[in-house]
Structure 1
Amino acid sequence: MTSDTLLHYANVSTLLVCMVLKFPQIFVLMRAKSTTGVSLKSLLLELFGYIVFVTYQTYYDYPPPTYLEYPILIAQDVVLLLLILLYNNRLQDSLIYTVVFVLGWRLLTVEKWIIDFAMSLCTFISAASKFAQLQCLWKSKDAGQISALTWGMASYTCMTRIYTTVMTTGDMLVLVRFITTTLLNLWVLLSIFYYRKNGRSCVKED
């Protein structure tokens, strides 16, 4: 398999996975009508990180295949956000979040230094998002409403993006972001399995 073929496969598979990446989590929330263990803070940080990342890529005219999945992920995160607000009886807050995110997105492209600075913080934003979810898991010790499939697919897409970044733009800011998010996604995934296993053990002991 040539490098061009492998690159094409990585881009296409990443896009296909991302088209349904959040669906398992959406279905889990809709079925349970509960957000136990799911961090709103994590979702908001992730959504902001996605907006910064896709804006940075388009601002510098990077190849669309390297970021095409992000508008799809943003749309899925918006659905998740609405579900979380709905089940927490805070749906009225959706207007506030909409205004904040739209204004923030517009601000990013006012000056070149703003988008560059935001992108330099993007890794920390993404890391903070994962840590917020981990913190929520540690606090609740309940992974029942968190989709392991979603986090597993997220880990895969970040790993493929490490490869595509190396093979195309070579942008170190982007590369560091994907390496960091890969490791933290895997940490969240392992935590989900850990708390599910412990939860089942507790049920058996009772």
Structure 2
Amino acid sequence: MQSDTLLHVANVSILLACMVLKFPQIFVLLRAKSTTGVSLNSLVLELVGYIVFVTYQMYYDYPPPTYLEYPILIAQDVVLLILILLYGGRLQDSLMYSIVFVVGWRLLTVEKWIIDFAMSLCTFISAASKFAQLQCLWRSKDAGQVSALTWALATYTCAARIYTTIATTGDMQVLVRFVAMTLLNLWVLLSVLHYQRRRHSFIKDD
């Protein structure tokens, strides 16, 4: 009974966190009208990872509470993608991205081996999205408009999903993915905080 309650609390807390996870980043971009420090490649890879992951979970009829937040995250990432394209002067590319994502999503479930193969690559795709964001930070040495709160929430949700995966499906592919994503999200968060702190110290010195 206690484990069921803990699992329910974990699922609800993850869902609530994911409902607002990207909002801090969205608000930062809207306020600044600049995408400094925010990686487009990272966001696109993250979207691909989300789409593959939620499609895999639905294909194998996994319990909805184990993936319910992903449609919400996908919707928020789409808003972020539009903002990044808008402020980057590339809004015309939004149609191309839409077609690629929709066609790709439809192809995932054409054959069982396709979705299985895509899921085997999902961790690498999602990891690549984090490394793309880290590379953007290392190159610019400026967190710019990157929201630390968004990355903190992402770190929590992935960490909590480690527990819910063990307690429900026990799927090793999914578990490995969440462990890797927790560590990488934490790495990005610490990098953002480091560059933000350094930026503030420069401003004070000036």
How does the TM-score come out when normalised to structure 2? 0.99
Q: Report the alpha carbon displacement of residue 205 of structure 1 after superposing the two structures with TM.
A: 2.7
Q: Which residue matches 1:181?
A: 181
Q: Which residue matches 2:120?
A: 120
1:98 corresponds to 2:98: yes
Q: Which residue matches 2:141?
A: 141
Q: In structure 2, what residue type is equivalent to 1:7?
A: L
Q: In structure 2, what residue type is equivalent to 1:103?
A: V
Residue 35 of structure 2: SS of its match in structure 1? coil
**How do 1:66-85 residues align onto structure 2 when only pairs under 5 Å count?**
66-85=66-85
Distance 1:203 1:17 in 2: 32
Q: Which runs of 4+ in 1 moved over 3 A?
A: none
Q: Report the alpha carbon displacement of residue 200 of structure 1 after superposing the two structures with TM.
A: 1.6
Q: Report the alpha carbon displacement of residue 5 of structure 1 after superposing the two structures with TM.
A: 0.3
Q: Report the alpha carbon displacement of residue 141 of structure 1 after superposing the two structures with TM.
A: 1.0
Q: Which residue matches 1:164?
A: 164
Q: In structure 1, what residue type is equivalent to 2:75?
A: A
Cα contact 2:38–2:144 (8 A) shared by 1: no
Distance 1:101 1:188 in 2: 25
Q: In structure 1, what residue type is equivalent to 2:176?
A: V
How does the TM-score come out when normalised to structure 1? 0.99
Residue 73 of structure 2: SS of its match in structure 1? helix
Distance 2:19 2:202 in 1: 36
Unpaired runs of 5+ residues, structure 1, are: none
Q: CA RMSD in A?
A: 0.8
Unpaired runs of 5+ residues, structure 2, are: none
Distance 1:150 1:58 in 2: 26
1:37 corresponds to 2:58: no
Q: Report the alpha carbon displacement of residue 53 of structure 1 after superposing the two structures with TM.
A: 0.2
Distance 1:156 1:28 in 2: 20
Distance 2:190 2:202 in 1: 18
Distance 1:98 1:126 in 2: 19
Distance 1:76 1:144 in 2: 20
Q: How far does the alpha carbon of each residue in 1:39-71 deviate from its partner, in whole angstroms, 9 at most, with x for none?
A: 000000000000000000000000000000000
Q: Report the alpha carbon displacement of residue 197 of structure 1 after superposing the two structures with TM.
A: 1.1
Q: How far does the alpha carbon of each residue in 1:124-164 deviate from its partner, in whole angstroms, 9 at most, with x for none?
A: 00100000000000011111301100000000000110000
1:7 corresponds to 2:1: no
Distance 1:13 1:189 in 2: 20
Distance 1:32 1:200 in 2: 17
Distance 2:198 2:15 in 1: 34
Percent identity at matched positions?
A: 81
